Structure 1
Amino acid sequence: GRMVDFSDTEEVLPVVDEMIARQPALVVRFPRGEGRREERYSHLLCGDVEMPKSMESAPGVTGNLTTAEIDRLTILENRVAELEKRVKALADQG
């Protein structure tokens, strides 16, 4: 078995975001690669990692962004998505 059972990937994202936001970060998030459904992640337990070649040409991502900037952008995008869900839920109630 697993140490923690998550019902789906949406339940995992806040935990991963916490590991990314930590100082020093424990995880790095790579942008979604072309033709991929989800972002990819890598641990930083053994030091910094390079972005896989298959993800370097991801649409909408400039090569000038650092890994930290990509992580920050992804966290912000996830927060906006969560806030949009909350606003929609509130609108549906009223």
Structure 2
Amino acid sequence: MDTPLPRLSAHQARVLGCLIEKEATTPDVYPLTVNAAQAAANQKTAREPVMHLDPGEVQHALRQLEQAGLAKQHFSSRAERYAHLADGALGLVRPQVILLGLLLLRGPQTAYELLARSERMSRFEDIDDVRHHLERLAQRSPPLVTQLPRGGGQREDRYAHLLCGPVSVEATAVTRDDDAPVRERADETALEARVATLEAEVAELRTRLQSLLPPEPAP
């Protein structure tokens, strides 16, 4: 009997994607605090759509992911931290976790986009290696990924995750050339990754500073 997939909200999907991304790109600040997870979720780069989640919404999403078996809380003397469990919970190898994380963060993408954007997270041999893992995700029962029909102006197939339920093709339609050079997209991704690293480090420093401040006096 097939194990049903967890049905995630948009907030939960964004936070899970952030945990996957930051484990790979900023391991020194992983597992993430709530503040770091909020900063990652609200990044203006490498996110589609851009969100504006408050700390309460992020913490609620983290707790729901924990209840679904997709995240785990780590206790420390400074602040509560969270790590994802997508690999064990969903039975995925690392390249598949990385592809799923990118789809959670940026919506439907082509294999070439995923290859360029995964450069700092997981090394794929080539575009065929990416497609191989996407096919494995799509052939699962139930599937984690689906291949979308091409829309106007598209010359490459796009892939989308199914953790938030069936995908509306109309809602994800785009009108751009998907055959842009991989090198150009890799340059864009490198800049996004540097910005993301700085944002995570700032969030971590803010958390540490707050832990050093004396508690406010009771009124």
Q: TM-score, structure 1 length as denominator? A: 0.48
Question: Highest Rg: 1 or 2?
Answer: 2
Tell me which of the two structures has the higher relative contact order, counting C-alpha pairs closer than 8 angstroms and 6 or more residues apart. Answer: 2
Q: TM-score, structure 2 length as denominator? A: 0.23
